[in-house]
């Protein structure tokens, strides 16, 4: 089954994001005004943290069997506590389960630190709501240091928003790692649902790769980001019960001031298979261009599904192209399909390297990453490497200095040079700044 025949699942929130990539979702991807949560009940299926929701009220035993066993510290929370009329009880149970690890904020506090969610403090918006910058001073809460924060207001008009809110609290309330964004607290007041995260000053990887106004990321910085994101996924997959991230993409990789990568937005995360099970079966959700084909076609989800998505992001880091780009010629719109013929030869690979790098990249490093990406996006999930092996491979490329531009491996005209009136100087092959030199991938060439 192709992605075109799928229903339109929920557009995951992007912080901050302007991606035109369509999501595999049932809800509209248009930004919606913040509205109160009005759904009456919710349920769980198939080992997911708040899996697929229905209109019936689940029993306490269903929760105990499916969720509490996977989250021992969360045993007190019952699905009867998750209805729209029990926000006070939700807050009490979350506070009991996470203690001082998470702060239960009052809505008035969050209004104050964001100047009533002013548009002047808007960081981003998506199908699930808006994110605003706020600043916590030392007087707001005892034991909470003064710091900037990002406050996400979830539009929970439908079931998906409430599920994502609670999934994020459950996962990030228990998972702590240098390459996962830190959840500071939450707010469940009346019918409002909000989340408070550490502020990531450099925004998302998506913005740095694809925004025209952004300065191009240097090769070393791209490699650092890839390693950090890989470590985050390796941590999730290495848990006693693996956590499948399910929505790995550039807009969900956030960057701190030193370009350290941290994974964000765990609303679609799911507990992996246990015991003799090889996969979990779930409703197909995620983002077109990043979702593994076997997951799109069957709903079978494994950690290897995340590996596929990671391979797509590696290709985006190499090429500066989006995973799906409808503005390009049809043959180039799907990055994985377009790039495959170029990934097995250094000579061909340089034809699709991001021109913004201007040849300032390691020849060997690019070749190794291309080979790694090709393994990650293999159509056979068993042929994909595991995340610890990916981390090891990437870390081994950090000290390479064989730059393409200094080794004669970058077309001279591919490096933008200013001539009179700022015009590009023509070389042996004319390549305008911001475009790719593209011979046919099927043309014969010597092995590079």
Helix, strand and coil content of the chain, in percent to the nearest 5, comes to 35, 15, 50
Q: Pairing mode, if any, of strands 103-104 and 183-189?
A: parallel
The candidate with the shortest Cα–Cα distance to 27, out of 134, 216, 161, is 161
* CA separation for the pair 412, 405 (Å, rounded): 8
HSE-CB of 26 using CA atoms within 13 angstroms: 7
Q: Are 138 and 111 in contact (CB under 8 A)?
A: no
Question: What does each C-alpha distance from 188 to 118, 269, 319 come to in angstroms?
Answer: 20, 21, 42
DSSP 67-95: IITT-GGGTT--GGGSSTT-HHHHHHHHH
- Cα of first residue to Cα of last residue in the chain, in angstroms, is 37
DSSP 50: T
Structure token pair of residue 382: 């068993």
CA distance 40 to 34: 18
| Phi, psi (deg, nearest 5) at residue 249 | -165, 170
Just list the catalytic residues: 247
Closest alpha carbon to 341 in 354, 331, 330: 331
Instruction: To the nearest 10°, report the CA torsion of 322, 327, 333, 335.
Output: -20
Count the residues in the chain: 448
**Phi, psi torsion values for 368, nearest 5 degrees:** -65, -40
What residues pair up with 186 in beta bridges, in sequence order? Answer: 104, 195
Distance of alpha carbon 11 from alpha carbon 249, whole angstroms: 13
Q: Is 375 within any annotated ligand binding site?
A: no
CA 27 to chain centre: 19
Residues in the annotated binding site: 152
Residues in the annotated binding site for ATP: 152
């Amino acid at each position: 089954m192709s992605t075109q025949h799928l229903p339109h699942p929920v557009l995951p929130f992007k912080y901050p994001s302007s991606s035109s990539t369509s999501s595999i979702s049932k809800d509209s991807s248009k930004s919606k005004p913040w509205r109160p949560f009005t759904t009456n009940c919710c349920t769980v299926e198939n080992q997911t943290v708040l899996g697929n929701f229905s209109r019936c009220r689940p029993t306490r035993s269903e929760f105990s069997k499916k969720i509490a066993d996977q989250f021992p510290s969360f045993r007190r929370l019952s699905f009867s506590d998750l209805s729209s009329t029990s926000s006070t009880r939700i807050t009490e149970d979350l506070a009991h389960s996470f203690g001082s690890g998470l702060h239960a904020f009052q809505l008035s506090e969050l209004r104050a630190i964001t100047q009533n969610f002013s548009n002047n403090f808007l960081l981003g918006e998506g199908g699930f709501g808006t994110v605003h910058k706020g600043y916590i001073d030392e007087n707001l809460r005892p034991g909470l240091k003064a710091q900037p924060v990002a406050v996400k207001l979830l539009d929970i008009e439908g079931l998906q928003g409430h599920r994502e809110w609670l999934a994020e609290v459950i996962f990030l309330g228990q998972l702590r790692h240098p390459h996962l964004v830190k959840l500071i607290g939450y707010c469940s007041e009346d019918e409002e649902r909000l989340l408070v995260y550490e502020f990531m000053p450099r925004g998302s990887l998506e913005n740095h790769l694809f925004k025209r106004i952004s300065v191009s990321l240097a090769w070393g910085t791209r490699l650092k980001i890839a390693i950090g994101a890989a470590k985050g996924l390796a941590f999730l997959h290495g848990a006693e019960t693996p956590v499948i991230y399910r929505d790995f993409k550039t807009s969900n990789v956030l960057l701190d001031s030193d370009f350290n990568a941290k994974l964000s937005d765990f609303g679609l995360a799911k507990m992996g298979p246990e015991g003799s099970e090889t996969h979990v079966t779930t409703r197909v959700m995620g983002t077109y261009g990043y979702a593994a084909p076997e997951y799109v076609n069957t709903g079978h989800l494994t950690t290897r599904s995340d590996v596929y998505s990671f391979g797509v992001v590696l290709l985006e880091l190499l090429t500066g192209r989006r995973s799906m780009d409808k503005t390009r010629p049809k043959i180039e719109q799907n990055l994985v399909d377009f790039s495959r013929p170029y990934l097995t030869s250094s000579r061909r690979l340089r034809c699709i390297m991001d021109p913004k790098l201007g040849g300032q990249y390691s020849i060997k490093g690019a070749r190794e990453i291309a080979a790694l990406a090709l393994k990650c996006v293999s159509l056979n999930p068993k042929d994909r490497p595991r995340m610890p092996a990916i981390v090891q491979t990437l870390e081994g490329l950090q000290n390479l200095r064989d730059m393409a531009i200094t080794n004669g491996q970058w077309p001279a005209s591919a490096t933008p040079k200013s001539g009179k009136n700022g015009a590009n100087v023509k070389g042996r092959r004319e390549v305008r700044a911001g475009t790719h030199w593209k011979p046919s991938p099927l043309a014969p060439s010597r092995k590079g």
